[in-house]
Amino acid sequence: MDASRTSPLTHDELNALVDGQLTPGQRAAAMAQVADDPLAGETLTAWQDQREALRGLHQKLLDDPIPETLLAAVQRSTRERQTLDPWWRWGGMAAGVLLAFAVGWTAHGQFGNRGSYAAGQAARASQAFARQATLAHAAFAPEVRHPVEVGAAQQEHLVQWLSKRLGKPLKVPVLSSQGYELVGGRLLPGDGGARAQFMFQNAAGVRVTLYLGALDGSPVAGKPVDAETAFRYSNDGPVPAFYWMDQGFGYAMSGPVAREELMRLAELVYQQL
């Protein structure tokens, strides 16, 4: 970062400053620019305040009770893998952090030694992805106070933040034609990297979620396997989901709604993304 530059700091540079990702020299140069740019200073202060607020928010969630829908899903998983049970007793936010690892570990135990065909591996990975999506829905959709990390009022910041974390430009689909409005979103862990979750709600209070993130296909002749798949329906989880892959990126639309309605929502998302 050039200390003599006159152009304003970009959002990525401000994000790096907030996240402590700059070297001491870069940080000094960035702070000098912030001192001369009132708008950048206001943005930096707002993002720092939001970061601290989110830290406090997550700490409080550690003491919150586990949603009943998540408990039911965990009990089913426990019957298959008894070793999972102690992990989910941490509750609240800890359950959200561990859910992707737990499901991924279970899928590895069930499928790791079966078959060597790349197509089969890709199919199993997408099925595990869909189940992770439904568990993430069960973890956060019932929340009254803290269903999302960043609300719809800060949609621009939400999209920039999650795009940076997932390494891909994202956009929030508009589902208002089906009666759903954006609640907000959050960042989640996944088997191979970060995952994003966007939450939507209709006038009756029903919530659906879009879960997305990169899925690595096994290489065949230098090309990714199953780079694109048709919609698939899954009810192997606490809520049903439609899921699909597009150029190595996975998407799953989940919610406690009829299959036909969920399909319409998934198609609407696919058309926009």
Average pLDDT of every residue of the chain? 76
User: Per-residue pLDDT for 259 more than 90?
Assistant: yes
User: Per-residue pLDDT for 258 more than 90?
Assistant: yes
Share of the chain above pLDDT 90, in %: 37
Confidence at 54, pLDDT banded by 50, 70, 90:
low
CA 273, CA 271: separation in Å to the nearest integer?
Answer: 6
Lowest average pLDDT, out of 15-24, 148-157, 212-221, goes to 212-221
User: Per-residue pLDDT for 31 more than 80?
Assistant: yes
pLDDT digit string (tens) for 177-194?
999 999 999 999 887 788
CA 80, CA 107: separation in Å to the nearest integer?
Answer: 11
Share of the chain above pLDDT 70, in %: 66
Q: Mean pLDDT throughout 111-132? A: 67
pLDDT digit string (tens) for 73-114?
556 655 544 444 444 444 444 455 445 444 454 445 444 444
- At residue 63, the pLDDT reads 55
CA 122, CA 247: separation in Å to the nearest integer?
Answer: 13
Q: Mean pLDDT throughout 45-61? A: 63
User: Per-residue pLDDT for 42 more than 90?
Assistant: no
Confidence at 1, pLDDT banded by 50, 70, 90:
low
User: Per-residue pLDDT for 201 more than 70?
Assistant: yes
CA 86, CA 193: separation in Å to the nearest integer?
Answer: 24
250 or 34, which is more confident: 250
User: Per-residue pLDDT for 50 more than 80?
Assistant: no
18 or 157, which is more confident: 157
CA 72, CA 174: separation in Å to the nearest integer?
Answer: 31
Whole-number Cα distances in Å, 195 to 160, 168, 189, 198, 225: 14, 11, 6, 10, 20
User: Per-residue pLDDT for 223 more than 50?
Assistant: no
82 or 254, which is more confident: 254
Expressed in percent and rounded to 5, the helix, strand and coil fractions of the chain are 50, 20, 30
> What structural domains does the chain harbor?
11-61 (no CATH), 68-272 (3.30.200.100)
Whole-number Cα distances in Å, 219 to 118, 122, 248: 7, 10, 12
User: Per-residue pLDDT for 69 more than 80?
Assistant: no
Confidence at 176, pLDDT banded by 50, 70, 90:
very high
User: Per-residue pLDDT for 237 more than 70?
Assistant: yes
Structure tokens at 20: 């402590």
Question: Residue written as tokens 């993002």?
Answer: 47
User: Per-residue pLDDT for 118 more than 60?
Assistant: no
- At residue 107, the pLDDT reads 47
- At residue 208, the pLDDT reads 97
pTM, two decimals, is: 0.57
